[in-house]
Structure 1
Amino acid sequence: MVGEGFYPKSSGGRAELKRSLRSRWLQTFVALGLILVAFLIEGRAQTPIRIGQTIEGALEEGDRKMADGSYYDLYVFRGNRGQRIVVHLRSKDFQPYLTLLDENGVEILSDSGEHGHAHVRCTLAHSGRYFIRVNSVRREGKGRYQLQLLEQ
């Protein structure tokens, strides 16, 4: 029969080949999906901030949204194990909500602040990337803010 040489007789023939092709297609699809997810996660940290830097920013339409519909900006910095940092977030336009996240996106600390000022102090547990999320306590919160990352 034509094509018999392509199907090992001891391993199930055509059915085996179909399962193998389906499995490879699924593996490729999953791998591409994981690459896309990694790209999207990596893309979220588009704004680097350095120790000692102050950034003027704004929560506005077009920014990323949290599950509750509120806007947020995300910053990334490199820290060292044992390094003591403090992050300040100030705004006259909205009540700020500040979150410090580890490189896996797990929340380390957060503060809703009061009177337009939120801050967190932390001794970093690991060397690597950390994220700072600028958000508003209220869903409709928008406006200008000042973000500052300092070493203690």
Structure 2
Amino acid sequence: MKAYARLTGMIAGVALGLSMGLAPVYAQTLILQEEGALEEGDMVLPSDNSLYDEFKIEGTAGQTVVVDMKSGDFVAYLAVLDPENPANPVLGENGNVSGTNDARLEVTLPRDGTFVVIANGLDSNSRGEYTLEITLLEE
């Protein structure tokens, strides 16, 4: 089993988002950048027997989290879970982006606390290396 990832650094940047012709400015903070691999010995998702790694992150209510996963070896699949809401733990999930192996997911956190990011492949045959980046957006 893999240990939870540690914060690897903080990077500030600026992103522009368009909404009704206006361009709000968002501060971006990179809270995790990880190079990992889906390989034998990883955790197994019971629903489809696919391998996954999980990463814990801290956030506050209303904060937007963007998760990017890239792989040249398999089709990436992401989920963000709220472990304090067992009745409905999935805040968001997403698979490949525009016909690539990459996955991107953007969620708004419902509360202050700890959340779990699942780095997964599309199916039980998914094996290989990936990169994962988790960014917080704030106006």
TM-score by length of 2: 0.72
Residue of 31, 34, 37 corresponding to 1:55:
34
Runs of 4+ with deviation above 4 angstroms: none
Tell me whether 1:71 sits opposite 2:51 in the alignment: yes
Greater C-alpha radius of gyration:
1
Residue 30 of structure 1 corresponds to none
**Is the CA contact 1:90–1:146 (under 8 Å) kept in the aligned structure 2?**
yes
**Is the CA contact 1:73–1:135 (under 8 Å) kept in the aligned structure 2?**
yes
| Structure 2: gaps spanning 5 or more residues | 8-28
Residue 16 of structure 2 corresponds to none
**Is the CA contact 1:56–1:147 (under 8 Å) kept in the aligned structure 2?**
yes
The two structures, once aligned, show a CA RMSD in angstroms of 1.8
Tell me whether 1:113 sits opposite 2:96 in the alignment: yes
More strand by share: 2
TM-score by length of 1: 0.66
Quick check: 47-56 or 91-100, which moved more? 47-56
Structure 2 CA distance for partners of 1:56 and 1:119, relative to 1, 3 Å: same
Residue 77 of structure 2 corresponds to 97
Q: How far is 1:46 from its partner? A: 3.5
Q: How far is 1:123 from its partner? A: 1.5
Residue 14 of structure 2 corresponds to none
Q: How far is 1:117 from its partner? A: 1.1
Residue of 105, 108, 111 corresponding to 1:123:
108
Residue 132 of structure 1 corresponds to 117
Q: How far is 1:85 from its partner? A: 1.4
Q: How far is 1:134 from its partner? A: 0.7
Q: How far is 1:140 from its partner? A: 0.7
| Structure 1: gaps spanning 5 or more residues | 1-43
- Corresponding letter in the other structure for 1:48: A
How many aligned positions are there?
Answer: 109
Report which structure shows greater RCO (CA 8 Å, sep ≥6): 2
Partner Cα distance (2:51, 2:134) in 1: 21
Cα distance per residue 1:17-69 (max 9 Å; x no partner): xxxxxxxxxxxxxxxxxxxxxxxxxxx89413546121000000111111121
